[in-house]
Amino acid sequence: MSSKWNVLQYYIQYKNRKFKSIEQIKRYQEKKLKKHLQFVTANAEYYTEYQDKDLEEFPIINKKIMMDHFNQMNTVGIDKEEALEFAIGSERTREFSEKLHNITVGLSSGTSDSRGVFLVSNAEKDQWAGYILTKVLTRGILAKYKIAFFMRANSNLYEAIGSKNIQFEFFDIYADLDENIQKLEAFQADIIVAQPSMLLKLADAMKQGVLHAKPERVISIAEVLEKEDEEYLKKAFAVDVIHQVYQCTEGCLATTCQYGTIHLNEDVVHIEKEYLDERRFVPIITDLERTSQPIIRYRLNDVLVEKKELCPCGCLFTALEKIEGREDDVFQFLSQDGKMVSVFPDFIRRCILFAGNVTNYRVLQKQDNSITVYADIDESLKERVIEEFQKLAEDKQCITPRIEFEAYSYDSSRKLKRVERCGK
Ligand SMILES: [Zn+2]
């Protein structure tokens, strides 16, 4: 069977899968999980000792553990060094069409130092494409689309999305911005997929009149989409919702519904929630379908905020208020009795936004816990920012950290993070 036919089959299968109750979702997941764990324990050396055990007994892993045991965890006999060399070679030459032993290999775009490699078989590629298309397409799979996809690296993973009627165009985010804008102007995309920092640049180009895009859908990926950026993008692109695809190498975790709510994709991933407070949690994910490189109880470094109210779209998958950011980016304040207190990125954001009209900013907490605010703002606004931080510290019964100001700057070769804690 051809790959395109497979993608279509998967698309139809996923599109028609409806869940009527939370119990039904649970039952579905349990059934899938049982079968999947049987496969994994029989085929991945790392997991053989967990045969017939429940998921809760499997070890919780992270990127480092996964990379350290890469050879024992993958079921397609690919060696880590070989895979790394191959993936780095593809990025260096910007040539992404090759495969290693018929497996797509890519580097994960983490900001952390441990480099990750992911493996995707041809069947998984088609399955993933079928799934993602149910989430991305606006008018069914047989309509015509032009999809502009801004990404750090292309991959033959994405080729599976293209077809006779779906024209898929890769935009290299490292290419010259003006060239990308010209290319996008000529392409006239129906769907634009890019990280928020790139979407903001495109929105600016729209404002300046050098770009005239009329996308039906705008999809944000790879970086945290801040509320105020989202509002700006909605206006600039004249769309009601900025969609988000929360996709990492570990799986397609969440997507936005037509009401603008982000839902976890609980039909393809099982998610355990490690709660940080009543609504914030760190997800521990188990991909229910990936077999070449199984993802079992992988603890992501992200903080997600649960939405308690039901979404009017009727989808029963867990709804998210937002994807708040990396767990590493949670700030630390010193309490009056000498303990460190976690302050979530959202509180830091509010200090800036409550202070006044600040469009571009970054807030960085250094190792010594001092805070640097990067923003082009005048003295009175700086004072108000300090006041907001003082109020926040008071609320948390903490000492206000030292605050410094610098002109706004950001290294566009890195992911844009408005709120960041310096790891080293
Ligand atoms: Zn919804």
Q: Which residue has the higher pLDDT, 174 or 390?
A: 390
In this prediction, residue 31 has a pLDDT band, given cuts at 50, 70 and 90, of: very high
pLDDT at 376: 94
Residues 376 and 273 placed together within one structural domain of the fold: no
Q: Which two tokens stand for residue 262?
A: 């982000």
Residues 346 and 307 placed together within one structural domain of the fold: no
The pLDDT > 70 percentage for the chain reads 98
Residues 41 and 20 placed together within one structural domain of the fold: yes
Q: Which domain holds residue 350?
A: 330-421
Residue 153 Cα to chain centre, angstroms? 15
- In the reported structure, the alpha carbon of residue 231 is separated from the centroid of ligand 1 by a whole-number distance in angstroms of 19
- In the reported structure, the alpha carbon of residue 19 is separated from the centroid of ligand 1 by a whole-number distance in angstroms of 13
- In the reported structure, the alpha carbon of residue 410 is separated from the centroid of ligand 1 by a whole-number distance in angstroms of 34
Residues 117 and 155 placed together within one structural domain of the fold: yes
Note the pLDDT tens digit of each residue in 195-214.
Answer: 999 999 999 999 999 999 99
- In the reported structure, the alpha carbon of residue 89 is separated from the centroid of ligand 1 by a whole-number distance in angstroms of 41
Taking CA atoms, 112 is separated from 285, 328, 414, in Å, by: 19, 10, 11
- In the reported structure, the alpha carbon of residue 258 is separated from the centroid of ligand 1 by a whole-number distance in angstroms of 7
Residues 118 and 21 placed together within one structural domain of the fold: yes
Residues 142 and 196 placed together within one structural domain of the fold: yes
Distance CA 315, CA 22 (A): 10
Residues 2 and 103 placed together within one structural domain of the fold: yes
* CB 332, CB 423: distance < 8 Å: no
- 277, 305, 326 — which closes off a domain? 326
* Lowest-pLDDT choice from 12-16, 20-24, 57-61, 91-95: 91-95
- In the reported structure, the alpha carbon of residue 262 is separated from the centroid of ligand 1 by a whole-number distance in angstroms of 7
The torsion of the CA quartet 98, 100, 103, 104, rounded to 10 degrees, works out to: -40
pLDDT at 399: 95
Taking CA atoms, 295 is separated from 215, 252, 403, in Å, by: 34, 12, 41
Q: How many domains does the chain have?
A: 2
Note the pLDDT tens digit of each residue in 80-123.
Answer: 999 989 988 887 887 777 888 889 898 876 544 567 889 999 99
Residues 144 and 288 placed together within one structural domain of the fold: yes
* CB 173, CB 179: distance < 8 Å: no
Distance CA 370, CA 400 (A): 9
Taking CA atoms, 396 is separated from 326, 372, 383, in Å, by: 21, 20, 20
Residues 250 and 387 placed together within one structural domain of the fold: no
- In the reported structure, the alpha carbon of residue 307 is separated from the centroid of ligand 1 by a whole-number distance in angstroms of 11
- 258, 291, 326 — which closes off a domain? 326
**The Cα angle at residue 202 between residues 322 and 244, in degrees rounded to 5:** 25
- 290, 309, 326 — which closes off a domain? 326
pLDDT at 114: 62
- In the reported structure, the alpha carbon of residue 241 is separated from the centroid of ligand 1 by a whole-number distance in angstroms of 12
Note the pLDDT tens digit of each residue in 230-257.
Answer: 999 999 999 999 999 998 777 789 999 9
pLDDT at 411: 82
Q: Which residue has the higher pLDDT, 122 or 157?
A: 122
The domain spanning residue 6 has which CATH number?
Answer: 3.40.50.12780
- In the reported structure, the alpha carbon of residue 22 is separated from the centroid of ligand 1 by a whole-number distance in angstroms of 14
Residues 65 and 199 placed together within one structural domain of the fold: yes
Q: Which residue has the higher pLDDT, 166 or 91?
A: 166
Q: Is the pTM of this model over 0.85?
A: yes
- In the reported structure, the alpha carbon of residue 52 is separated from the centroid of ligand 1 by a whole-number distance in angstroms of 36
* CB 408, CB 375: distance < 8 Å: yes
Residues 256 and 384 placed together within one structural domain of the fold: no
Residues 316 and 341 placed together within one structural domain of the fold: no
The domain spanning residue 360 has which CATH number?
Answer: 3.30.300
pLDDT at 424: 54
